[in-house]
């Protein structure tokens, strides 16, 4: 029996868990809508059957404009962060690697801060400039990391890449801190809200904005899952079986980084998902990326939807920053898995 192959039952369990979390999040949230009203609000947006349902405009707006986009965005962001985290851990052979390793967070943070501080009026445009600026910032910082890492190391040495990532992140964070110092109190609050991560203002436009990036990135990573296993045994061994390690590494890093940049641009900096979800799967299912990557996508999405559900319900009507929930929920659970599992990371 191959303990590295992904079985259909693993996928079924993960999808079942995901469906339960979505259902729980959609129907038992603070809106406290009757189930009939909830399904009617969804049904009026479906072709063919839409004419058979009636729902008040308020309930329809609650479900279709606020709850559903938030759940969908949670799925996409969670799936992206978890799979990118798993991919980074595989590429750098480092269990502490997370999706923000190469400066994505600091670059996106600087981009977002520039918009919030210098062009606050952009927030009132019908086309939201904030995620675009965050995305551009993230891409620029990772491009800088690559350029500096290449210049510093011979070839694509992963250590020099990591070190240049740390340097670029420090530089961008310093620039962001300087801008925050020059901004007003209201702007600082928005910057902090963004840094702590939130899906509170999610809309369908955010979902459609990141869907292509996340989709492409996730497909690429899943397609590369066998090659990640090959990288785990070492570059020379991988090359001996016909795998060009440096090329594979670059493709995976670019895919994971672009997807992460897109996710971060709409959700802010949500921590822990990218480390905890892949490790929990690794501890339970074993070290093979053939299992870790596809399951990270499903469980990562479910985990973030669940965390967001708690963020908007536990102190209702107040919102709790999503980053707080992911750490509160994820860290103890992870420690339990770590303690009870006999597998090694």
Quote the least distance from Cβ 238 to other proteins, whole Å: 41
Quote the least distance from Cβ 330 to other proteins, whole Å: 14
Cis check for the bond before 317: say yes or no (omega within 30 of 0). Answer: yes
Show the CA angle centred on residue 98, arms to residues 97 and 102, nearest 5°.
85
Nearer to other proteins, 175 or 284 (CB): 175
Q: How many residues does the chain have?
A: 345
Nearer to other proteins, 97 or 134 (CB): 134
Quote the least distance from Cβ 82 to other proteins, whole Å: 22
Angstrom distance (rounded) from CA 317 to CA 325: 16
Nearer to other proteins, 93 or 119 (CB): 119
Closest C-alpha to 321, from 167, 199, 202, 217: 199
Residues that bind other proteins (CB under 8 A): 29-31, 57-58, 60-62, 64-67, 69, 116, 119-126, 177, 180-181, 183-190, 192-193, 196, 198, 200-201, 203-205, 312, 315-319, 321, 323-324, 327
Tokens of 50: 């839409």
Quote the least distance from Cβ 207 to other proteins, whole Å: 11
Nearer to other proteins, 187 or 246 (CB): 187
Angstrom distance (rounded) from CA 306 to CA 58: 25
Q: Is the dihedral of CA 248, 251, 257, 263 positive or negative?
A: negative
Quote the least distance from Cβ 12 to other proteins, whole Å: 32
Tokens of 259: 């997807």
Quote the least distance from Cβ 331 to other proteins, whole Å: 12
Angstrom distance (rounded) from CA 248 to CA 226: 11
Closest C-alpha to 138, from 42, 318, 263: 263
Quote the least distance from Cβ 199 to other proteins, whole Å: 10
Angstrom distance (rounded) from CA 311 to CA 321: 6
Who's near 149: CB < 8 A, 6+ residues apart?
A: 156, 157, 160, 161, 162, 163, 164, 165
Quote the least distance from Cβ 188 to other proteins, whole Å: 5
Nearer to other proteins, 242 or 317 (CB): 317
Nearer to other proteins, 85 or 321 (CB): 321
SS3 321: coil
Nearer to other proteins, 284 or 310 (CB): 310
Who's near 132: CB < 8 A, 6+ residues apart?
A: 265
Q: Is the dihedral of CA 316, 321, 323, 328 positive or negative?
A: negative
Nearer to other proteins, 15 or 174 (CB): 174
């Amino acid at each position: 029996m191959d303990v590295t192959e992904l079985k259909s039952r693993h996928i079924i369990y993960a999808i079942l868990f995901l469906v339960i979390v979505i259902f729980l999040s959609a129907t038992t949230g603070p809106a406290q809508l009757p189930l009939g009203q909830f399904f009617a609000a969804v049904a009026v947006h479906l072709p063919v059957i839409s004419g058979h349902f009636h729902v008040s405009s308020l309930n329809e707006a609650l479900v279709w404009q606020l709850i559903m986009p938030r759940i969908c965005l949670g799925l996409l962001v969670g799936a992206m962060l978890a799979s990118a985290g798993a991919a980074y851990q595989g590429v750098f052979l480092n269990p502490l690697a997370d999706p923000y390793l190469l400066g994505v967070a600091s670059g996106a943070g600087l981009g977002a801060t520039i918009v919030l501080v210098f062009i606050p009026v952009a927030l009132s445009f019908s086309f939201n400039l904030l995620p675009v600026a965050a995305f551009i910032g993230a891409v620029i910082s990772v491009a800088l990391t690559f350029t500096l890492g290449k210049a510093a190391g011979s070839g694509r040495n992963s250590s020099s890449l990591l070190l240049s990532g740390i340097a670029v992140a420090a530089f961008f964070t310093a620039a962001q801190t300087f801008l925050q110092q020059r901004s007003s109190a209201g702007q600082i609050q928005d910057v902090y809200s963004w840094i702590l991560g939130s899906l509170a203002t999610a809309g369908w436009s955010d979902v459609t904005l990141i869907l292509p990036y996340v989709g492409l990135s996730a497909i690429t990573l899943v397609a590369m899952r066998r090659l990640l296993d090959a990288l785990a045994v070492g570059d020379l061994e991988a090359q001996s079986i016909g795998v060009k390690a440096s090329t594979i590494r670059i493709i995976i890093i670019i895919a994971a980084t672009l997807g992460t940049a897109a996710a971060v641009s709409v959700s802010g900096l949500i921590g822990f998902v990218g480390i905890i979800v892949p490790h929990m799967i690794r501890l339970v299912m074993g070290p093979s990326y053939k299992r870790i990557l596809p399951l990270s996508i499903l469980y990562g999405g479910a985990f973030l939807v669940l965390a967001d559900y708690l963020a908007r319900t536990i102190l209702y009507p107040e919102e709790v920053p999503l980053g707080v929930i992911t750490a509160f929920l994820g860290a103890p659970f992870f420690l339990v898995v770590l303690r009870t599992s006999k597998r090694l990371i």
